[in-house]
Amino acid sequence: MTYLEAISDALREEMRSDETVFVLGEDVGAFGGAFKVTDGFAEEFGPARVIDAPLAENAIIGAAVGAAVEGLRPVTEMQFADFIACGFDQLVNVAAKLHYRQGVACPMVVRLPSGGGFSGGPFHSQNPEAWLLQAPGLKVVAPSSPSDAKGLLTAAIRDPNPVCFLEHKGLYRHLREPVAEGEYVVELGKARTLREGDALTVIAYGSAVELATRAVDELGIEATVLDLRTLAPLDTAAVLEAAKRTGKVLVAHEATRSCGVGAEVSALVAEQAFEFLDAPVRRLTAPDVPIPFSPPLEQAVLPNLERMKEACDELLAY
Catalytic residue IDs: 124
Closest by CA to 5, choosing from 47, 110, 207, 13, is: 13
Give, as one character, the DSSP assignment of residue 94.
I
Provide the 10 A C-beta neighbour count for residue 258. 11
Q: How far apart, in Å, are the Cα atoms of 212 and each of 47, 144, 269?
A: 42, 11, 19
Q: How far apart are CA 316 and CA 318, in angstroms?
A: 6
Closest by CA to 277, choosing from 291, 266, 264, 261, is: 266
Q: How far apart are CA 308 and CA 304, in angstroms?
A: 6
**Which distant-in-sequence residues (6+ apart) come within 8 Å of 281 by Cβ?**
243, 249, 250, 251, 265, 266, 269, 270
- φ/ψ of 74, rounded to 5, equals -75, 145
- Fill in the amino acid letter for 63: A
3-41 in b/e burial notation, b at 16+ Cβ within 10 A?
A: bbbbbbbbbbbbbeeeebbbbbbbebbeebbbbebbeeb
